Amino acid sequence: MGYFMNTNWQELKREFQQRRENAISAREKRRAVAYHKVPEIKNLDKQISLLGIGFSREALRQDMNSEELHSFEHRLEQLITKKKQLLAQNGFAEDYLELVFLCSNCNDTGFVLDSDGKPGIMPCHCYRQLMVERFYDVSNLNSDGETGFEFFNENYYPDSTDDGKNSDSPRAQALRVRQKALDFVNHFEDTDYPNLYFFGPTGTGKTFLSKCVALEVLKKGHTVLYLPAPAMFDIIYRSKYPADATQVKDNPYEGILNTELLIIDDLGTESPSAAKYTELLTILDYRSARNTKLPCKTILSTNLDPQDLHNVYSERVESRILGEYEILFLMGDDIRLIKRFQKSI
């Protein structure tokens, strides 16, 4: 985590504070709805609050015995139960008036809750991921609202093949690739499980499935960095040859090396350079070695057939990929063109 520590904590703190304020604001709106429909719920909330205040005063004076404590707990449970019943009877969920945070591990504080439900000193996975996103100025992976395995549509792939052979149809192959991607998510913590190499023609869903995996891995509490190949190599170059060599900065290159899931999209579209090919091999070798101790997985997405990698990069790059990556081929029509055509009808 050392490569994140110089990131502006005040900026991150404001983000988490805003998240908590959003959660509180959303609950207040729900309260207004519930109170308007069922005024008795407001009265119950007031009784619960007064009961809690009274208990706190007694506890501070240390005058409460076990019988009084049991009485308090019993009365509180009665009020809460009645409140839940009223909510359910009027079409609300029982937890309708509870705070709903984006992250239940830290309640949007950025730090994992301790046994008392208070933020501790251990950074939460959402804190680490926010640092990754801010550090690299990358957009939220699900910002379009149409990314995720639930949006996978097999009907975009033809259900028949016209090559005259007994090969699988593009649809059957896409479904197989989707399952392999899900298997990768389910075995992400297994250091022996292979990385993924998506390849195929433009528009067949390689980037989409890569991002689907990314979202699921994020949900599992791991850091994810998604970068197009040209952007990644540019970051590496600027990291090694900064414009202002006197200014101390975080090293973005370390993030590329150490993030728990690195997705390199459009591999092969970067400008050719022997130095970049060396960098790619360094990244693959480093992450492979690191993955023996903890998750350090890589997904490559490209138009390049893996058998042609030695022509574009080197035999060592090809050997590394063929030996440690699950090769997943997607074929079919350009889905982006299909969507555009459907929208125009």
Domain chopping of the chain, boundaries? 2-123, 138-344
What is the pLDDT, as a whole number, of residue 139? 44
- The amino acid at residue 319 is S
90-112 exposure pattern, b = at least 16 Cβ within 10 A, e = fewer:
eebeeebbeeebebebbbbbbbb
Reference 185, options 143, 220, 224; nearest CA is 220
**Which pLDDT belongs to residue 107?**
92
Both tokens of 278, joined, read 């060396």
Look at strands 119-123 and 224-228 and give their pairing. Answer: unpaired
Q: Please give the helix or strand (H or E) that residue 111 lies within, else none.
A: strand 111-113
List the beta strands (DSSP E) in 232-304. 261-267, 297-302
Taking the C-alpha atoms of residue 111 and residue 120, their distance in angstroms, rounded to an integer, is: 6
Q: Give the CATH number of domain 138-344.
A: 3.40.50.300
Cα–Cα distances (Å) from 161 to 153, 318, 332, 333, 339, in that order, read 18, 29, 9, 12, 21
What one-character DSSP code corresponds to residue 138? P
pLDDT at 9: 65
pLDDT tens per residue across span 108-156:
998 998 888 888 888 888 887 787 776 555 544 655 678 889 999 999 9
Token pair belonging to 144 = 């379009």
pLDDT value at position 222? 83
Separation CA 281–CA 238 (nearest Å):
18
Query: What integer pLDDT is reported at residue 62 of this predicted model?
Result: 65
Residue with tokens 């023996």: 292
For the chain, the distance separating the N- and C-terminal CA atoms, rounded to the nearest angstrom, is 50
Q: Average pLDDT for consecutive 10-residue bins of the chain (345 residues)?
A: 48 88 94 94 90 70 70 86 93 92 91 86 83 59 75 92 70 96 96 95 94 88 87 85 57 84 93 83 94 93 91 88 95 86 69
Show the tokens assigned to 272.
């050719």
Nearest CA to 264 among 193, 337, 317?
317
